[in-house]
């Protein structure tokens, strides 16, 4: 499960949020019952159609929308090919919501593409390019475990962080760097070569050395 | 020589008109390029500032209906107000039963909560007695 909405949903009085692609595929949701991502999608789609009228006022379409009601608040952000939808208590601090939306937008721009990582990867392209499916990272951890033992998972995680990413937001274009850094931690040149050879199958095609 | 001063009386009646709802809102939002008081059907009741007042009222009416539907579907109670933010500007609205206050103004880059302020200001105007 990706962690993109963790920050947004950690804001005090936020009930839940969902993130959709431009084509309305749910990337991640943190919605408590009775809210459900399919239902929220229909609500959000209707709102987005209405927001198109905003272009009568300004050339660019509405990017952020918020509505306060007596028993709750809804907020929406459309950016970088994604729609984020949030439901909160009416007294939620809107300044915090704005900051959290800005942080999410920044992360979407920085990170690369996001898929529903627990299912098959959805190859979306944003910022640094196609994102590495979680199964790729799992495969690398598995290959690394042969040489580094049970610490493999932690070491790969540390290297991902060192490269400035998170497991949910790791771009395919940096897989070779990840493998190289992980290999450099191994003690013998034989282990390094064997790991690199094994892990090469997880590299995206253009990065595999023939 | 007659004393004209005593025979001529000049009466001057000063009529003080109470400021309209839009004029009062304008005091709080001088940065707004356009302020409109409109019906929920998009009919302009009063406006201040420059720009397409009918266009703003129409957009506000459509947006209010859309948000009302969304809020109803999610059982969030009665819609009080909304904000739309585009590239450089934002549109704020305080919603009542049959009418809306709408402001079109530059985006506040400091992530300030303009929406709650706007709803509260419009509510305060409701409480004031027009003299």
Tell me if B86 and A67 make a contact (CB, 8 A cut-off): no
User: What is the model's pLDDT at position A159?
Assistant: 83
Tell me if A74 and B73 make a contact (CB, 8 A cut-off): no
Checking if the pLDDT of A10 tops 80, the result is yes
Average pLDDT over residues A23-52: 89
Checking if the pLDDT of B74 tops 60, the result is yes
Q: Looking at CA atoms only, how far is residue A158 from chain B in angstroms?
A: 34
Write out chain B residues lying below 8 Å of A72, CB-based. 71, 74, 76-77
Instruction: Give the pLDDT confidence of A23-35 residue by residue, as tens digits.
Output: 888 888 998 888 9
| Alpha-carbon A122 to chain mean position | 11
- Residue A45 contacts B, CB cutoff 8 Å: no
Residues 6 or more apart whose CB falls under 8 angstroms from that of A83 comprise A19, A20, A21, A22, A24, A44, A48, A76, A77
**DSSP H/E element including B38:** strand B34-39
Checking if the pLDDT of B105 tops 90, the result is yes
Average pLDDT over residues B74-103: 93
Instruction: Give the pLDDT confidence of A91-112 residue by residue, as tens digits.
Output: 999 989 988 998 888 888 775 5
User: What is the model's pLDDT at position B37?
Assistant: 96
Checking if the pLDDT of B59 tops 80, the result is yes
Phi, psi of B34 (to 5 degrees): -150, 135
Q: Give A124 or A81, the one with higher predicted confidence.
A: A81
The pLDDT-based confidence of A124 (bands split at 50, 70, 90) is very low
Q: Looking at CA atoms only, how far is residue A145 from chain B in angstroms?
A: 46
Q: Which residue of B has its CA nearest to A54?
A: B59
Mutation site for A-interface testing, chosen from B85, B92, B119, B123 by largest number of A Cβ within 10 Å: B85
User: What is the model's pLDDT at position A128?
Assistant: 47
DSSP for B62-113? HHHHHHHHHHHHTT--SEEEEEEE-SSEEEEEEE-SSEEEEEEEE--TT---
Average pLDDT over residues B70-92: 93
Average pLDDT over residues B16-21: 83
Picking from A58, A66, A95, the nearest residue to B89 by CB comes out as A58
The pLDDT-based confidence of A126 (bands split at 50, 70, 90) is very low
| Alpha-carbon A100 to chain mean position | 14
Tell me if A54 and B52 make a contact (CB, 8 A cut-off): no
Checking if the pLDDT of A121 tops 80, the result is no
């Amino acid at each position: 499960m990706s962690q993109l909405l963790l920050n947004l949903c950690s804001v005090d009085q936020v009930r839940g949020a969902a993130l959709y692609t431009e084509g309305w595929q749910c990337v991640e949701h943190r919605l408590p019952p009775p809210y459900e991502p399919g239902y929220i999608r229909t609500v959000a789609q209707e709102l987005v159609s209405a927001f198109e009228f905003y272009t009568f006022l300004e050339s660019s379409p509405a990017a952020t929308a918020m509505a306060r009601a007596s028993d709750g608040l809804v907020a929406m952000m459309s950016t970088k090919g994604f729609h984020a939808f949030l439901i909160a208590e009416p007294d939620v601090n809107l300044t915090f919501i704005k900051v959290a939306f800005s942080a999410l937008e920044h992360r979407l721009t920085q990170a690369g593409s996001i898929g529903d990582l627990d299912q098959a990867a959805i190859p979306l392209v944003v910022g640094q390019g196609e994102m590495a499916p979680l199964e790729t990272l799992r495969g690398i951890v598995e290959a690394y475990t042969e040489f580094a033992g049970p610490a493999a998972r932690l070491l790969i995680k540390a290297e991902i962080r060192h490269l400035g990413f998170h497991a949910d937001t790791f771009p395919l274009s940096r897989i070779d760097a990840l493998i190289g850094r992980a290999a450099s931690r191994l003690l013998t040149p034989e282990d390094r070569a064997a790991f690199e050879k094994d892990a090469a199958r997880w590299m995206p095609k253009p990065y595999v050395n023939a | 020589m007659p004393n004209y001063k005593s025979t001529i009386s000049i009466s001057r009646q000063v009529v003080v008109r109470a400021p309209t709802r839009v004029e009062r809102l304008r005091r709080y939002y001088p940065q707004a390029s356009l302020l409109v008081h409109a019906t929920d059907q998009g009919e302009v009741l009063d406006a201040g500032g420059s720009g397409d007042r009918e266009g703003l009222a129409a957009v506000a009416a459509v947006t209010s209906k859309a948000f009302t539907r969304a809020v109803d579907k999610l059982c969030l109670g009665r819609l009080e107000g909304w904000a739309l933010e585009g590239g450089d500007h934002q549109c704020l609205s305080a919603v009542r039963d049959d009418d809306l206050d709408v402001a079109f103004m530059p985006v506040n880059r400091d992530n300030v909560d303009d929406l709650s302020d706007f709803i509260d200001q419009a509510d305060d105007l409701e409480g004031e007695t027009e003299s």
